[in-house]
Structure 1
């Protein structure tokens, strides 16, 4: 980099282009002309030895250098948010958009829908991905809240336990094992199996259980979407696996607990500790706490 004295307009333009995805929407977001955004970006890129953005069919995307810079400059936007939060404590008036990433959309959709009802003027961006991918975009400040099973400790993150559920087997409703109250992985050795993508937490846990039991369970069918896995099971392609709360309630399939998966996994609402005072984080976490409180009160009646 030839000159480290970046200006605030350059940083704002860069952050806006990244979040908006193209120059036109970035200009609208900043309330300036597109040429003004382009000029700031040219000044910024002139300071670096390589490009920060590359043009693609749907807009622009960050280069590796741009990603490294954005992890730093994203904190400037947080400073603005934090200052507004101090000026108007407890106010959601500055909340315009919330970005969520979830590995468990069915589990968290009621909470997301509740948020939309309570904050109808707030724009919602929902990203669905694996647990590891959700963690990555949260750590990179590409989203405000992560909704996934956080099964490790991280001093940078705060988390709120939201729901427990277990790994289960999904079988065709006519399958001989479908009526069992519980089955063992050993009973599936001669079955056609359907696995989910390798890097999903579901598959990681299933692989560990298979290894612990000394089994050689394999699959020739790999499907990313849990909804699609359920459809494949319903059409007789094999036995699938998922966490219970991630399975649609109705379908031509049966859900049977797995004996070896006795330990429940916990779905969490997750956020960066450094961003706890941002309106989008504060409002969503407060809502999650209220929903949990209402649920506990209902169970005590």
Structure 2
């Protein structure tokens, strides 16, 4: 086993494709496949599962990925420390955001890191919270913002904020003039477009409605935030989102947001793995996230949250 093989393996897992990894590495695909075959032969385990949809790591492959990725990070840090002195904030940091958080935080964080830490390359992943949780557990991410308020095994976290959920749009259902609140009983008559059942937001909504013994009227499942808002604007269906999802939109055309009663509230935390040590670049980005969330809230650019 050598460093080149491990580098190739990490690239393949990141790309979920041998051909895409070969292009990124400027290596012929047969040569790349041969290197991975040699690695599997040496370790006497299968590392990748190949299908028409690409490749994904086996259980053994996921274990190797965690160690290999950390080794790549350590080697990168060695080069930086020798060249520039220890403590330099340089390297690649992968961070995952649920879509509603990325909507507000991703671009300001990218600008902040580029300005303050030009030696850090950010990799930003945006997806539903369930997939972000999986990427963090598999070692694909260094940091992730997840909606959880209790610590889980193998991970540390910093609570960032709490936010309430709102009915966005009303699908033509008449509310009394000036009504700023929608009860869950009223929601039973409103057609809703919601994220798919793998979404943490959807699971929270279903749990609350089940507890209150209210039926959800779901007429469509959409895992795109911009599309959900567009549907709410059209009046074809309402949706349930945090107020921050409407930030930056023209108030004249944005759909009406009404707070739910009883309320649905969730806690967002910045999470990272306890299994692998954090380097100086990851620690710098971690602090940048905490500082930016406070700044965006203070400046009114992140409405509807309560800092923790």
- TM bracket, shorter-chain basis: 0.7 to 0.9
Distance change >3 Å, CA 14–CA 188, structure 1 → 2: closer
Offset at 1:231?
0.7
Q: Where do 5+ consecutive residues of structure 2 fail to align? A: 301-308
Residue number in structure 1 paired with 2:168: 170
Q: Give CA deviations for 1:273-300 in whole Å, capped at 9, x if unaligned.
A: 344531331120122344356579889x
Secondary structure of the residue aligned to 1:258 is: strand
Offset at 1:146?
0.6
Residue number in structure 2 paired with 1:224: 223
Distance change >3 Å, CA 68–CA 290, structure 1 → 2: closer
Query: Residues 163 and 268 of structure 1 are in contact (CA less than 8 Å); yes or no, is this contact kept in structure 2?
Result: yes
Of Structure 1 and Structure 2, the greater strand share is in 2
Distance change >3 Å, CA 105–CA 219, structure 1 → 2: same
Query: Residues 197 and 224 of structure 1 are in contact (CA less than 8 Å); yes or no, is this contact kept in structure 2?
Result: yes
Alpha-carbon RMSD: 3.3
Give the number of equivalent residue pairs.
285
Secondary structure of the residue aligned to 1:44 is: helix
Q: Aligned partners of 1:293, 1:188: CA distance in 2, in Å?
A: 33
Query: Residues 97 and 124 of structure 2 are in contact (CA less than 8 Å); yes or no, is this contact kept in structure 1?
Result: yes
Question: When the two structures are superposed, what TM-score results if normalisation uses the length of structure 2?
Answer: 0.77
Residue among 6, 10, 26 paired with 1:15: 10
Q: Aligned partners of 1:127, 1:297: CA distance in 2, in Å?
A: 25
Secondary structure of the residue aligned to 2:64 is: helix
Offset at 1:152?
3.1
Residue number in structure 2 paired with 1:3: none
Q: Aligned partners of 1:285, 1:276: CA distance in 2, in Å?
A: 13
Query: Residues 194 and 240 of structure 2 are in contact (CA less than 8 Å); yes or no, is this contact kept in structure 1?
Result: yes
1:174-185 equivalence runs, <5 A: 176-177=174-175, 179-185=178-184
Question: When the two structures are superposed, what TM-score results if normalisation uses the length of structure 1?
Answer: 0.79
Residue number in structure 2 paired with 1:102: 97
Residue among 75, 81, 98 paired with 1:80: 75
Secondary structure of the residue aligned to 1:220 is: strand
Q: Aligned partners of 2:61, 2:96: CA distance in 1, in Å?
A: 21
Residue number in structure 1 paired with 2:287: 286
Distance change >3 Å, CA 191–CA 172, structure 1 → 2: closer
Offset at 1:153?
1.5
Residue number in structure 1 paired with 2:112: 114
Residue number in structure 2 paired with 1:272: 273
Query: Residues 276 and 282 of structure 1 are in contact (CA less than 8 Å); yes or no, is this contact kept in structure 2?
Result: no
Secondary structure of the residue aligned to 1:186 is: helix
Secondary structure of the residue aligned to 1:211 is: helix
Query: Residues 23 and 34 of structure 1 are in contact (CA less than 8 Å); yes or no, is this contact kept in structure 2?
Result: yes
Offset at 1:107?
3.4
Q: Aligned partners of 2:48, 2:170: CA distance in 1, in Å?
A: 50
Query: Residues 81 and 279 of structure 1 are in contact (CA less than 8 Å); yes or no, is this contact kept in structure 2?
Result: no
Q: Where do 5+ consecutive residues of structure 1 fail to align? A: 1-5
Q: Aligned partners of 1:70, 1:245: CA distance in 2, in Å?
A: 35
Distance change >3 Å, CA 50–CA 159, structure 1 → 2: closer
Residue among 31, 37, 40 paired with 1:45: 40
Q: Aligned partners of 1:151, 1:112: CA distance in 2, in Å?
A: 26
